[in-house]
Amino acid sequence: MTLFRLECKTHCKTLLIWMIVVGILTLGLVSLFPAMKDMGLDQMKAMPKDMMKAFNLSDLGMLTTIKGYFGYEYQYVMLATGIFAAMLGTNALSREESEGTISYLFSQPISRIAIVGEKMLCNTVLYTLYWLVSMAIAYLVCLMFKETGASVSDLFDGFTQLTFAGWVMGLTFLSVGFLLSAFLSSNKSATSLSLGLVFLTFILGVVGKMNNDFKGLLYASPVDAALPSTIFKSGIEWNYIVTDLVVIVVAGLLTFWIYRRKDLNV
C-alpha cells in the first residue's frame, strides 16, 4: 500500500484547500437566506418558465424555506464538486508519465493493475472524505439559518439522501476521469478536460429539462442525479443513480483494461 500512502500525501494539501473553500462558500450562500426569503419574488416570476425549469426554479415558493433555498443555491457547489472529482481522476494516472515518476513506480514490485487499483482506492477515499465534510458543514449551516418551525428531522432525512446521491455523482466523474487519464500521457490538459466534462454533462441536463424530446439526455448528466432541490422535494430518483453506478463500473473496468495495455513513456 506504499502507492496508496504516497497518493494520499500528494493530495492532502489540495483536499484541505477544497474543503475550506467549499465550506466558506456554503456558509456565505446559506447566510443570505434570512434576507433573501423576505424579498419579493416578482422579478424571478418574470423569467420564462422553461428557463426556470432548466435551473430548478419551477417552485418559487420553496425559496422561502431553508430546504428550497439551499437546494437551489447548492446545485452550483455540486458543479464545483464534480470538477474536483473529475480532476482527481484525470490527474491520477497521467501525472506519473508527465512528471517522470512512472520509472520509480516500475522499479518497485508493483503491477499496473495494482497501480490503478491503489490510485482508485486512494482517490475514492479522498473524495469521500471531502464530500462527508462538505455535507456536515452544509447541514450545520442550514441548522443555524433555518426558518422558525422548520423540521430538523426532515432536514436530516433530506441531507442523508443528498449525501448518498452526491457521493455517487462524484464517483461517476472520478471514474470517467480515470478512464480519460488512462489515455493521456500528460496531465497538462487534465484541468480543461475536467471542466469540459462537468459543464458538458450539465448543459446536456439543461437541454433535457427544457425540451421533453431530449429528456433522455438527463441520464448523461450526473449532476441531475444529485440535485439537492429534487432530492429535498421528492427523494432520490433511482433510475439516474443506477445509470451512474453502471457508468462507474464500466469506466473502472475499461481503465484497468486500457492501462494494462498502454505504451507508457518511461
pLDDT per position as a tens digit, 245-258 = 999 999 999 999 99
Whether the pLDDT of residue 11 is over 70: the answer is yes
With respect to residue 24, please indicate whether it lies within any of the assigned structural domains: yes
| Cell digits of residue 156 | 436530516
Average pLDDT over residues 183-197: 81
| Cell digits of residue 125 | 477515499
pTM (two decimals): 0.90
Whose cell is 446521491? That residue is 165
Confidence band of 54 (pLDDT split at 50, 70, 90): low
Name the domain count of the chain.
1
Whether the pLDDT of residue 17 is over 80: the answer is yes
Whether the pLDDT of residue 133 is over 80: the answer is yes
The amino acid at residue 264 is L
- Give long-range contacts, CB 8 A cutoff, 24+ apart: 17-24: 18/84, 18/130, 19/130, 19/133, 19/134, 22/77, 22/80, 22/81, 22/130, 22/134, 22/137, 23/133, 23/134, 23/137
Confidence band of 73 (pLDDT split at 50, 70, 90): confident
With respect to residue 266, please indicate whether it lies within any of the assigned structural domains: no
With respect to residue 43, please indicate whether it lies within any of the assigned structural domains: yes
Whether the pLDDT of residue 3 is over 60: the answer is yes
With respect to residue 184, please indicate whether it lies within any of the assigned structural domains: yes
Looking at residue 40, what is its pLDDT?
46
With respect to residue 110, please indicate whether it lies within any of the assigned structural domains: yes
With respect to residue 203, please indicate whether it lies within any of the assigned structural domains: yes
Looking at residue 263, what is its pLDDT?
67
**What's the domain range around 76?**
2-261
d(CA 74, CA 81): 10
DSSP 8-state secondary structure symbol assigned to residue 187: S
Looking at residue 151, what is its pLDDT?
81
Whether the pLDDT of residue 160 is over 80: the answer is yes
Whether the pLDDT of residue 9 is over 70: the answer is yes
Average pLDDT over residues 203-228: 85
Does residue 115 contact residue 105 with C-beta atoms inside 8 Å?
yes
